[in-house]
Amino acid sequence: MKCTVCGSEINPGDKFCMACGTSVESMGLKAAAAEQAQTQSIAQPVVQPAYAQPQPAYAQPQPAYAQPQPVSYNDRINNDVAASTDATPILALGIVALATSLSFYFSIAGIICGAIGLAKSNDFMRKYGALTGKANTGRHLSRAGLIVGIVMTSFFTLCILLYAIGEA
């Protein structure tokens, strides 16, 4: 008889394999199981067991998605008209801010109009989600008017101070 684990010879009457120490009784069970497996493999095809995924002990919450609401053509037009009417003052403030910031006497008005235009553009962005068209242009003009107004006011203030110092 041969050991089913290591393949070495086993003498009759031995209870363990002298090479690997495997019990002869367990080899008998293995040999019987191997013979049974061979007869089954000849008789029927081998089918792999199908393992199921473990199921959680609690129920998974299902996300509640809202159904998309249809938007009619009139709703879109009304929203565009509202955005356009809200964007017009931003553009006007940007133009006024840039125009007045370039003059000596009205550069402070340019700073004020630029600040108000930027604040209104932030409100527009919160309300509609993005700046588009007139609102975007008005924001850039307001920013430019604010910056130019600050630079011009500083320049004119410096000129006045230098003139006052020169007269003294």
Q: Which residue did the predictor score with more confidence, 49 or 159?
A: 159
Do 89 and 163 have their domain in common? yes
Do 85 and 147 have their domain in common? yes
Do 88 and 162 have their domain in common? yes
pLDDT for 107 = 85
Q: Is 91 part of a structural domain of the chain?
A: yes
Alpha-carbon distance of 89 to 72, in angstroms, equals 27
pLDDT for 123 = 87
Do 140 and 93 have their domain in common? yes
Q: Is 58 part of a structural domain of the chain?
A: no
Q: Is 53 part of a structural domain of the chain?
A: no
pLDDT confidence band for 46 (50 / 70 / 90):
low
Q: Is the pLDDT of residue 109 over 80?
A: yes
Number of structural domains, the chain? 2
Q: Is the pLDDT of residue 159 over 70?
A: yes
Model's pTM, two decimal places? 0.49
Do 38 and 107 have their domain in common? no
Do 27 and 101 have their domain in common? no
Q: Average model confidence (pLDDT) for the chain?
A: 76
Q: Which amino acid is at 106?
A: F
Do 152 and 93 have their domain in common? yes
Q: Is 74 part of a structural domain of the chain?
A: no
Q: Is the pLDDT of residue 115 over 80?
A: yes
Cβ atoms of 162 and 124 closer than 8 Å: no
Q: Is the pLDDT of residue 29 over 60?
A: no
Q: Is 68 part of a structural domain of the chain?
A: no
Do 154 and 107 have their domain in common? yes
Do 103 and 30 have their domain in common? no
At 130-149, the pLDDT tens digits run 777 888 888 999 999 999 99
Alpha-carbon distance of 168 to 166, in angstroms, equals 6
Do 37 and 85 have their domain in common? no
Do 28 and 88 have their domain in common? no
Q: Is 85 part of a structural domain of the chain?
A: yes
Q: Is 140 part of a structural domain of the chain?
A: yes
Q: Is the pLDDT of residue 75 over 70?
A: no
Average pLDDT over residues 77-100: 79
Determine the structural domain holding residue 155 and report its residue range.
81-167
Q: Which residue did the predictor score with more confidence, 64 or 120?
A: 120
Alpha-carbon distance of 154 to 156, in angstroms, equals 6
Do 95 and 162 have their domain in common? yes
pLDDT for 52 = 62
Alpha-carbon distance of 82 to 156, in angstroms, equals 41
pLDDT for 9 = 84
Q: Is the pLDDT of residue 14 over 70?
A: yes
Q: Is 55 part of a structural domain of the chain?
A: no
